[in-house]
Structure 1
Amino acid sequence: MYNSKITGMGYFVPDNIVTNDDLSKMMDTNDAWIQERTGIKERRWIKEGSGETSASMGAKAAKIAIERAGLTKDDIDFIVFATLSPDMYFPGCGVQVQDILDMPTIGALDVRNQCSGFIYSLSVADQFIKTGMYKNVLVIGSEFHSGGLDKTTRGRSVSVIFGDGAGAAVLSRTEDNTKGILSSHLHSEGKHARELVVEGPSIAHWVPEILEANDPNDTSYYPYMNGQFVFKNAVVRFSEAIIEGLKANNVEASDIDMLIPHQANLRIAQFIQKKFGLSDDQVYNNIMNYGNTTAASIIIALTEAWEKGKIKDNDLVVLAAFGSGFTWGSVIMRW
């Protein structure tokens, strides 16, 4: 059996920086309120009219990842694209990237697991490689949140959190079973689906109904989050997923060289760091600069940490996420 390892990474974020002070001009909020609750100082939002999309950002990140892997677009065997903000209701962004990058007619799969999307996508790509089906799989996480947020005081508890951006990784076959992805662990609990949700448009709240009602108070197509409930579940599930991964590989928390948590809320990451007794050098956070980029957050952070020399050969790297669904999971890898 083969192993899979990351051979190239890249990310792309829009140039447009939106600070907390900028948001205070749109809604009743302020920098201190946002930082105290989320740790976020600024985020990137796509400028209206720029033409940028989830697919286009994902393609830009993918180009960097493929080049850093020492490959060409023709060497990629399969695409896995994670997003909750696709350019179109269907088809998915994976096929758009295949077209944008002018790749061969390889398969493309979209994963809709929101904040856990990149973890799930890595797991899928890892299994394709471990079974021998593919040699190089392109995994992308990309989000265009800003176009779908309620940027009024009504929506401030959610809208201040999210940012736009994309990251990509090339997962490649290796015969060294001591390196690469050692294990992945995935979970869900659908009974809490409506605690973090966008309900429409959907088959239960479809376009004609929305158009006919034309109700300015209909918030079903804006994100809803029961913040305190999500936070309480997140800190529990994050911990469980990490512990599960460590036990599966017979290692301890002290063996972790780098933990990359999904960038949902800095307070969650700090809670997890303290619980596992990790130093600042063992955890990488960048939510203060980008906000929550959902499926893109882990790969953007992982790429930044690697670029800064914080991840080295043979390091034990742990990725963990929790989000809407509820879904959560972890990936343990030896760099």
Structure 2
Amino acid sequence: MYNSKITGLGKYVPDNIVTNDDLSKFMDTSDEWIQERTGIQERRWIPEGSDDTSSVMGAKAAKIAIERAGLTKDDIDFIVFATLSPDYYFPGCGVQIQDLLDMPTVGALDVRNQCSGFVYALSVADQFIKTGMYKNILVIGAEYHSNGLDKTTRGRGVTVIFGDGAGACVLSREEDTTKGILSTHLHSEGKYADKLIVASPSIKHWVPEIIESEEEDISYYPYMDGTFVFKHAVVRFSEVIMEGLIKNNLSKEDIDMLIPHQANLRIAQFIQKKFVLSDDKVFNNIMKYGNTTAASVIIALTEAWEQGKIKEGDHVVLAAFGSGFTWASAIIKW
């Protein structure tokens, strides 16, 4: 048996910064309204005319992660790509990474678990390495939200939250089983799927039907019951973090760095208070990037590492909750 460890990290976000004041120019909102509810000050949106997509951004982040791991593209054995905003309905982004990076014909797998996507993807890669099947796996989380948002006052409750970006890591074999990913924990509760959803287009409501329909409940924009999601998120975040700590005989005092999914700064602050963690033990960057869904945890993890906030030997906890509902955690000995 082996463990897996993160040997390289990378991120990419578009240069185009969209502030809360920018949003107030085309919808009824304000910087005060957005910051009070979410903590977000700005986000990155891919500008019109850019070649960036989820796969392109993912490839840019992946190149950085591979280089930092001291590897080449030819050393990668497998690809796991997490996103809710693939370039195409099918095929998925994983195979596009193989092409964009001119990699050997390795396998590629796509994960569609939305906000929990990266932690789920990390867990899948971890199992492949633990069994000895692969040695180096590229794990990517990337999202292109901005082109699919309702940028009117009707959609402000969702639109102000989301941003574009990508992050990637290389997960490699580690023979010392006291280091690396110690455990991952995955959960779902599908009865609440309609609380955070893009219901169309789908096989039920295909594009021509949506265009021709005058029914208000047929829309290709995201829907979220924000209050309902918030109440469940704070409970599930706490549960899945504790599950990971207990599995590894750790306590909340052993957490050196918590990287929560960047859904809402208020959720992260609630969890920080519940676990009695000081500011230097929780990393948040939602203020700059908004919610980048499957990319949020890996972008935040990369930034925390780049800023020297994660050191060898630290216990790092990743946790996420989102649409599905799905939630997940990973306990890492850095």
**1:68-113 CA-partner distances (Å, limit 9, x unpaired):** 0000000000000000000000000000010000000000000000
Distance 1:235 1:246 in 2: 17
> CA 1:96–1:216 in structure 2 vs 1: closer, same or farther (change >3 Å)?
farther
2:244 counterpart residue number = 245
Amino acid at match of 1:67: E
Distance 1:16 1:85 in 2: 19
SS of the residue 2:63 aligns to: helix
Q: Where do 1:195-234 residues align within 5 Å? A: 195-213=195-213, 215=214, 217=216, 220-234=219-233
Amino acid at match of 1:235: V
Distance 2:60 2:174 in 1: 26
SS of the residue 1:123 aligns to: helix
1:157 counterpart residue number = 157
**1:44-82 CA-partner distances (Å, limit 9, x unpaired):** 000011121000000000000000000000000000000
Distance 2:136 2:103 in 1: 13
**1:214-240 CA-partner distances (Å, limit 9, x unpaired):** x49565210000000000000000000
> CA 1:289–1:216 in structure 2 vs 1: closer, same or farther (change >3 Å)?
farther
2:117 counterpart residue number = 117
Unaligned runs of 5+ in 2: none
Amino acid at match of 1:252: S
2:182 counterpart residue number = 182
**1:105-151 CA-partner distances (Å, limit 9, x unpaired):** 00000000000000100000000000000000000000000000000
2:329 counterpart residue number = 330
**1:289-325 CA-partner distances (Å, limit 9, x unpaired):** 0000000000000000000000000000000000000
Residue 142 (str. 1) matches residue 142 (str. 2) = yes
**1:268-288 CA-partner distances (Å, limit 9, x unpaired):** 000000000000000000000
SS of the residue 1:305 aligns to: helix
2:255 counterpart residue number = 256
Distance 1:179 1:9 in 2: 17
2:34 counterpart residue number = 34
1:25 counterpart residue number = 25
Amino acid at match of 2:269: Q
Amino acid at match of 1:284: F
Q: Indicate if the aligned counterparts of 2:210 and 2:218 stay in contact, CA closer than 8 A.
A: no
1:53 counterpart residue number = 53
SS of the residue 1:9 aligns to: strand
2:107 counterpart residue number = 107
How many matched pairs? 334
> CA 1:30–1:216 in structure 2 vs 1: closer, same or farther (change >3 Å)?
farther
Distance 2:208 2:221 in 1: 17
1:10 counterpart residue number = 10
1:319 counterpart residue number = 318
**1:172-223 CA-partner distances (Å, limit 9, x unpaired):** 001010110000000000000000000010011112312433x495652100
When normalised by structure 2's length, the TM-score is 0.99
When normalised by structure 1's length, the TM-score is 0.99
Q: Indicate if the aligned counterparts of 2:83 and 2:114 stay in contact, CA closer than 8 A.
A: yes
1:66 counterpart residue number = 66
Distance 1:156 1:208 in 2: 25
Deviates more, 1:288-297 or 1:216-225: 216-225
Extract structure 1 runs of 4+ deviating beyond 6 A.
none
Distance 2:266 2:181 in 1: 28
After superposition, the CA RMSD in angstroms is 0.9
Distance 2:109 2:221 in 1: 25
Residue 129 (str. 1) matches residue 129 (str. 2) = yes
Amino acid at match of 1:196: L
Distance 1:256 1:61 in 2: 27
Distance 2:258 2:58 in 1: 24
Distance 2:217 2:76 in 1: 43
Distance 1:185 1:68 in 2: 27
Distance 1:228 1:89 in 2: 30
Deviation at 1:261, TM superposition (A): 0.1
Sequence identity (%) = 81
Amino acid at match of 1:179: K
2:279 counterpart residue number = 280
